[in-house]
Amino acid sequence: MSTAEVFAALGDPVRLRLVERLGAEGPLSIHRMTEGTAISRQAVARHLNVLRDAGLLHDERRGREHVFALEPRRIAAARRHLETISAQWDTALDRLRAYVED
């Protein structure tokens, strides 16, 4: 659930594509998510569990299907984290410039 864990979860091309699909198509079952990939259902299921453990997805059993859906608040939190770094960078550069001119 840490910030690094969120980025690590997004840092695999397969998982990033799964997140993009969930964002574009809405909630999907493991079986549906496996369609269009070159890997097995178990591999996809493990990727989805990683994303859920990172807080990026939430899951629900619907009959014999296991449906995963996006958790947009986690994505928003990661976005804000990157925003903070960029903002600090600007002030750090200003301080560096003042130091060099001094």
Partner DNA sequence: GCCATACGCAACCTCCTTGTTGCTCGTCAG
Partner DNA sequence: CTGACGAGCAACAAGGAGGTTGCGTATGGC
At closest approach, how far in Å is the CB of 57 from a second copy? 12
Site for DNA (CB under 7 A): which residue of 66, 69, 71, 75? Answer: 66
Q: Which partner, a second copy, DNA, none, binds residue 88 by CB below 5 to 8 Å per kind?
A: a second copy
- Binding to DNA by CB under 7 A, coded x per residue (else -) over 8-47, reads ----x-x--------------xxxx-x---xxxxxx-xxx
Q: What is the Cα–Cα distance from 86 to 53, expressed in whole angstroms? A: 27
At closest approach, how far in Å is the CB of 76 from DNA? 23
Q: What is the Cα–Cα distance from 49 to 87, expressed in whole angstroms? A: 33
Q: What is the dihedral of CA 59, 61, 66, 68, to 10 degrees?
A: -20
30: Cβ contacts below 8 Å, ≥ 6 apart: 41, 44, 45, 48, 65, 66, 68
Closest-CA residue to 10 (of 95, 77, 87): 77
Quick one: 37 or 75, whose CB is closer to DNA? 37
Q: Which residues bind DNA (CB under 7 A)?
A: 12, 14, 29-32, 34, 38-43, 45-47, 50, 61, 63-67
